[in-house]
Amino acid sequence: MIETPQNTLLEVNNLTMRFGGLTALDDLSLAVPAGKVTSIIGPNGAGKTTFFNCLTGFYKPTVGDVVMHHPQHGKLILNQLATHRVARHAGVVRTFQNIRLFPSMTVLENLMVAQYNALQRASRFSLAGLLGLSGYRRANEEALAKATTWLERLGLIDRANVAAGNLSYGTQRRIEIARALCVDPLLLCLDEPAAGLNPRESAELNELLLYLSREHDKGILLIEHDMSVVMRVSDQICVLNFGHKIAQGTPHEIQHDPNVIKAYLGEEETEEVSA
């Protein structure tokens, strides 16, 4: 068990994930704080997405636990919860490497769909919605207000009624984050949100991640290959290689860590650099 500071939101204890003879994650321990950005980096196949899959309920880890410290619900062991409870009850929401919006729906509709469960509950799974009963109407108004608020905060409100598929790649990535925010997450897990963005869009993403962590106290877990984003926004970085954590620290510490340089450049190139 790792020592965890007061503002720890997520505690990863000795997490191991094996697929037959392959160990994709090996004894990973990590504390993820609220209000800060924690980046997970590492070469291809290092185990980054496997880590996200373990903590969001897609995979059941072979060994270890992921514990969410929820301000209302107390300690929740994520690997014992169903996937939908990880998002709705524990407040852990993820985005994926590939964009998963409904392209023919408008931006606003995409954000309303994210709140479908809450609307279903308000309708008591009956015809209440169609009949316009007050509980459902109120829930629908709240969902609309939440979607509108996040669209305004993320600078997307002028595109609310445009089909999501007609917007630029960078804007679609932003919509995915807005959609995730409509579920009121405490922890946002973003899988390569800068992939395919141009330099201006990457810079806007940096500002957005800092805004969400600093102004809204969101814990952010970021998998990212774009080092300009990682180095600009991270409070701490965890480096994986072949499933092992080989380093953890601030951007400055990670940039100068010999194990990290070796993992990215390989042994021979490292010797050349130091020669």
Rounded least distance, CB 269 to ligand ATP, Å: 20
Rounded least distance, CB 236 to ligand ATP, Å: 18
* CA–CA separation, 156 and 110 (whole Å): 13
Residue 235, CA distances (Å) to 42, 54, 174, 228 in order:
17, 23, 21, 14
Q: Does the protein bind ligand ATP through residue 58 (CB under 6 A)?
A: no
Interacting stretch for ligand ATP, rule CB under 6 A, among 42-50, 111-119, 122-130, 206-214?
42-50
Among 49, 56, 171, 236, binds ligand ATP (CB under 6 A): 49
Q: Which is nearer to ligand ATP, 8 or 50 (CB)?
A: 50
Among 14, 26, 35, 45, binds ligand ATP (CB under 6 A): 45
Give the list of residues 6+ apart from residue 237 with CB closer than 8 angstroms, or none. Answer: 38, 39, 40, 41, 230, 247, 248, 249, 250, 251, 254
Rounded least distance, CB 65 to ligand ATP, Å: 19
Among 33, 42, 57, 170, binds ligand ATP (CB under 6 A): 42
Cα angle at 11 between 28 and 173, to 5 degrees? 85
Count the residues of the shown chain that bind ligand ATP, applying the rule CB under 6 A: 11
Q: Does the protein bind ligand ATP through residue 48 (CB under 6 A)?
A: yes
Among 24, 147, 186, 237, binds ligand ATP (CB under 6 A): 24
Interacting stretch for ligand ATP, rule CB under 6 A, among 38-46, 99-107, 141-149, 171-179?
38-46
* CA–CA separation, 123 and 218 (whole Å): 30
Q: Does the protein bind ligand ATP through residue 44 (CB under 6 A)?
A: yes
* CA–CA separation, 175 and 203 (whole Å): 16
Q: Does the protein bind ligand ATP through residue 47 (CB under 6 A)?
A: yes
Q: Using alpha carbons, select from 249, 253, 256 the residue that is nearest to residue 274.
A: 256
Rounded least distance, CB 167 to ligand ATP, Å: 25
Q: Judging by DSSP bridges, how do beta strands 219-223 and 187-191 pair with one another?
A: parallel
Question: Residue 22: is it exposed, middle or buried by C-beta count within 10 angstroms (0-12/13-18/19+)?
Answer: exposed
Rounded least distance, CB 48 to ligand ATP, Å: 4
Note the residues at the interface with ligand ATP (CB under 6 A).
19, 22, 24, 42, 44-50
